Amino acid sequence: LKRTQHYPHSKLATPDRRFNNGVEFSQTIVEFQYMYAIDPLSGNLIRTNESFYLQDLTIIYRFVGVEVFYILTGSFGGWKLSLYIPKFEIVLILSDKDTHITKQTQSNYNTLKAYFVTYFREVKQYINSKQPRLLTSIVGFRRNLGHFFWQELNGIHYLYKNLLLDWIDCLAIGNYQHLQVTELFPELNNKKQLVLGNFSDMKKFQLLLNNNCLCFRVAEHFISQEYISRIYDFAWYKCSENFREALPNQDNNREFFPLLWVNLRTHNKSWKSQGQGYANIINKLSEDFPKIAIVFDGWIDCNKVVESIVKLLKPQVKIYNTLSFPLHESIVWAHQIDAYICVVGSGLVITSWLSDKPGVAHADRGHLNQQRFWSRVKENSIAPLFLKRQEIKPLQNRAYGNYQVDWQIIYQKIFQIIKKVEKEKLIAKDTN
């Protein structure tokens, strides 16, 4: 296959091998309208244009070689995860990059068999169809905001850079488009859309068959500055003029310093005493920075936490509560701040991937491990200052568990960051 890559995948300098290479096969589906694979029995290169959407981010491709076989793809990274040969009832694990899906391998293929039986006529008609497939991009099928920006929307941008968006015929849209793909990439405005968010996985399987779709999902793992600039420009112009004019700390208005972003979280992996803790941090900072202003960020379920913090704050502290703001406004806010304190997760995405600000990151011990790759997947990244494992006290022995941390630890780290920002601003002012 002769491919033209105007914009090749970046090779990431990270010890975590999961992020070393881009996912090539999904781009070739767009470029050649087929998925290619090596027949495990003959060693020949063969191709297919038959796909079956299973669930979540999982797509299975059917190949006819010496024997019929299937390749299951999925997870956030869009990897090839397993190969199944029905005649021999053999499954080969192709990757351990998502151990959760690997454990469900047998269940996934059994689900595919059940769908085949349920929709036997539709499957047979699809396989035998001579009509051109509808090349269909799967978008917004997983709620996770971080992976949406890191891999999914980034994958669309990767296709844009390689001049391949025109090849797409259709978008299959789930419930979790955190930004509207067709607004961010107007090149997709004229494409057919299948809005599938409210359907069951089984119904999605049927509808994609009935529309003769060849499904794919491109995942790109490196966040370029050009991609981030595109998101910010879109977010800025989507905001109203009144909103933009009301933002603090514009070039002609340095009313507050520091403008500190405080990310709250309550539904899981949350700092249990964050209400009292953040109040202590902010009040302590106000002793050295009397013009401090706080931007509260988080899901709407954090409003009670905001109220509890505000009650404990000194009256001169300026408060901006953005909990009910749409995402594009939060993205713009994140570009106005001087520093942040965030939970490792969606909140940290906005300030350190979609913006370039310094700050402190805390989380349960498991998510603190993301420090090893966090700043390496973004061009010219400012690395968050992660808390150390020993500074976190777990309250639950499980993933996404709640935890405690001494507020003074966070205070000391953010204080040093703010002092550095202050010094940089003074130097810049003297230079000008």
Strand partners, 296: 262, 321
How many domains, the chain?
A: 2
- 265-287 tens-digit pLDDT: 998 889 999 999 999 999 999 99
Tokens encoding 176: 């979790």
Containing domain of residue 178, as a range? 17-222
pLDDT (average), residues 250-268 = 84
Q: Is residue 209 part of a domain?
A: yes
What tens digit of pLDDT does each residue of 153-202 get? 999 999 999 999 999 999 999 999 999 999 999 999 999 999 999 999 99
How far does Cα 231 stand from its chain's mean position? 13
Tell me, yes or no, whether 266 and 349 share the same domain.
Answer: yes
* Range in 123-132, 387-396, 423-432 the model is least confident about: 423-432
- List, for residues 295-327, the tens digit of each pLDDT value: 999 999 999 999 999 999 999 999 999 998 999
Q: Give a yes or no: residue 241 inside a domain.
A: no
Which residues are within 8 A (CB) of 85 and not within 5 positions of it... i.e. 6 or more apart?
40, 41, 67, 68, 69
Q: At 262, phi and psi to the nearest 5?
A: -120, 115
Final residue of a domain: which of 222, 244, 274? 222
**Are 155 and 274 within one domain?**
no
Q: Residues 398, 259: one domain? A: yes
The lowest-confidence range among 39-48, 95-104, 306-315, 420-429 is 95-104
The angle formed by the CA atoms of residues 370, 28 and 152, to the nearest 5 degrees, is 35
DSSP letter string, 46-86: EEE--EEEEETTEEEEEEESSSEEEEEEETTTTEEEEEEEG
Written as six digits, the tokens of 56 are 């979540």
